[in-house]
Chains A and B, each alone.
Chain A
Amino acid sequence: MVQNHRREDHETGGENKEKRPKFFINDHVDILIEILERLDGRSLCVAASVCRLWCTIASNDSLWENLCFRHVSPPPSSVRSVVLALGGYKRLYTGCVRPVRSRLGRVRRASWARDEVQLSLSLFCVDYYERLGGSNSNGRLVEKSSPSSLMFLCKPVNV
């Protein structure tokens, strides 16, 4: 946003009597992406409901990949293909990483950051496996199509 204002000043300072269009962030998608990359998960979701363009950008998986590994040193490149095969980073973040982080936040130790992501990844994999089962014609076995193995993550923390 700091960049934004500087540009605005420059433009209006030069020819302030003419009818120049105001600076509109949607015309500068590269800046927009830079900004959105730095948001936290909640803000990213809020941003995604602003307009169609923001929605498209915010659903780009690489933004969510950033979020997942934000406080962790970059993972080996093999992780990406695995995560994409299991459903993508946005699903990983919203389904596993965010609940895991917020639950563990109360007892967070700095050394746990990487382990949190690894645990999230394992839970994510179990979830994917159960979703696989949903497509089987197994009768009563997996009637409910929504994954159940992550239900415990979505439950309210009951002290």
Chain B
Amino acid sequence: MGNSPADFSQLASDAILYNPSDLACWVDSLLTEFAEPPPTCSSDFIVDPVNNQTVVNSAWTFAEPHTPQVHQNITYDEQQSLDNQLTVVTAMEEDSGIRLVHMLMTCAECVQSGDLSLATSLIDDMQGLLTHVNTVCGIGKVAGHFIDALSRRIFQGMGGGSVNGGSAFENEILYHHFYEACPYLKFAHFTANQAILEAFDGHDCVHVVDFNLMHGLQWPALIQALALRPGGPPLLRLTGIGPPSPDGRDSLREIGLRLAELARSVNVRFAFRGVAASRLEDVKPWMLQVNPKEAVAVNSIMQLHRLLGCEQTRNSPIDTVLSWIRGLNPKIMTVVEQEANHNQPGFLDRFTEALYYYSTMFDSLEACRIQPEKALAEIYIQREIGNVVSCEGSARVERHEPLAKWRRRLSGAGFRALRLGSNAFKQASMLLTLFSAEGYSVEENEGCLSLGWHSSPLIAASAWQAVPAWDNHMSSS
């Protein structure tokens, strides 16, 4: 490699330096970048001074005017002070944190038993206690959200909730930032895509039904993988289900157009169909227009739990939907759900579980440094908390159930589990290694993958196939 200083100086006479005064330290920063960097080294790419930024720009991208590194709102100084904030936890704060948790549990117990006056006074006490605790991170932040949810439950009754508080547009934005800030959704998408890709092997006409399209972030990677599969891409049809958008915007169609443009760039024949429905149980199979000759994949990322109404009647929404899914005879159904038990009838049990689950999730989010992604992701999670704690009946849609329960439910509905292969596991492990925090872990559990933070599983992905019908269903043979 011809990088010796002698060669460098020989060419210096013909050199054009983009920023002569800073070339030396820029080269230094490049040379030190690949040594095992101390945490501060990264600031070379983040820090504001305009000179350094332009030099870095011109090194890495000549044609494009911007680089991914440019977009950082937190300056180096702020970063330092944030770090300090995070690491300093006094003994008194720890005590207050523990007291907060105890008070939260007591308050939840009061709510369950109906002692609302005591609950109210506890809420006041807790809000007082919050002022002594660091609410920027740790237990203080999570406790704050739970206190809010509890007080909403007490004061507004149980329909008051965050589930209908946000418009579809807001929810999409929050979801997008949650996607960026932590790996849960990326893990879900990549794992599901891998399973779908393997299931579609050998088929020329494929149809994917997405139960919650949002911005369609899952599908570019699948389109690209199909474009590159040996034997060429199939004809891909995508049916995206999503809430209807108000004021004339057709967000489903816009996403469809974007995906179509991507597919066209990579030469994949693509057709999109949007189904607008405010609830999943309103969707009927004829709306999906499934062709009997095509291979169907049904993709549900954190949607099935919304169908678990509290009444266990025979025609509960979940049974209806599962039976028409089965009627489609999909080659694969990918199910990703939160690995939590938030659908227990008893309020206190649910509250305890939720407190533990969301504390873990907030913990994992601490490692995220990008703003505003982190803040908006927290609002996204906060809305979930609000729904689990302060809503009841049909307003409570976040009815998470653990994988074991889903296994029983899906097996009972005529599905059998497909093992997610080693490719999916490898891809998930690689994906996690890329994330900046080292607490994430992927585990394999009887053919299903789960992603967790410090060995507490938080989200689980599984794949299913319809068992050939033995009763008189109207399914193809």
**Could you tell me which A residues sit within 8 Å of B by CB distance?**
1, 25-26, 35, 38-40, 42-43, 45-46, 48-52, 55, 59, 76, 78-79, 81-82, 85-86, 90-91, 94-95, 99-100, 102-104, 106-107, 112, 115-116, 119, 121-123, 125-126, 128-130, 132-133, 136, 138, 140-141, 144-159
Tell me how far the C-beta of B365 lies from the nearest C-beta in chain A, rounded to whole angstroms.
12
Residue of B with least CB distance to A82? B266
Residue of A with least CB distance to B45? A154
**Contact partner, A51, options B11, B43, B68, B223, Cβ 8 Å:** B11
How many A-B contacts if CB must be within 8 Å? 175
Taken together as a complex, chains A and B put the C-alpha atoms of A136 and B253 apart, in Å, by 13
Residue of B with least CB distance to A148? B180
Interface string of B430-446 (1 = CB under 8 A from A): 11011111100000000
Given contacts A45-B59, A145-B66, A156-B42, contact A126 B221 (CB under 8 A): yes
Total interface residues on B, CB under 8 Å, equals: 75
Q: B112: CB under 8 A from chain A?
A: no
**Contact partner, A100, options B1, B41, B434, B438, Cβ 8 Å:** B434
The residues of B that contact A50 with a CB separation of less than 8 Å are 11, 14-16
Taken together as a complex, chains A and B put the C-alpha atoms of A104 and B426 apart, in Å, by 12
Q: In the complex the two chains form, is A104's CB within 8 Å of B370's CB? A: no
Tell me how far the C-beta of B38 lies from the nearest C-beta in chain A, rounded to whole angstroms.
10
- 14 other contacts beyond A51-B16, A59-B63, A153-B434, with CB at 8 A cut-off? A48-B62, A49-B58, A51-B14, A76-B228, A82-B224, A100-B430, A126-B217, A126-B220, A138-B254, A145-B66, A148-B71, A148-B373, A152-B183, A153-B68
Q: In the complex the two chains form, is B180's CB within 8 Å of A149's CB? A: yes
Q: Which of A59, A95, A144, A157 has the most CB of B within 10 A?
A: A157
Q: In the complex the two chains form, is A49's CB within 8 Å of B59's CB? A: yes
Given contacts A51-B16, A104-B433, A145-B66, contact A1 B7 (CB under 8 A): yes
Q: In the complex the two chains form, is B373's CB within 8 Å of A157's CB? A: no
Taken together as a complex, chains A and B put the C-alpha atoms of A152 and B259 apart, in Å, by 23
Q: In the complex the two chains form, is A76's CB within 8 Å of B215's CB? A: no
**Contact partner, B435, options A40, A129, A141, A152, Cβ 8 Å:** A152
Q: In the complex the two chains form, is A122's CB within 8 Å of B62's CB? A: no
**Contact partner, B14, options A26, A106, A146, A158, Cβ 8 Å:** A26
Interface string of B250-263 (1 = CB under 8 A from A): 00001000110110
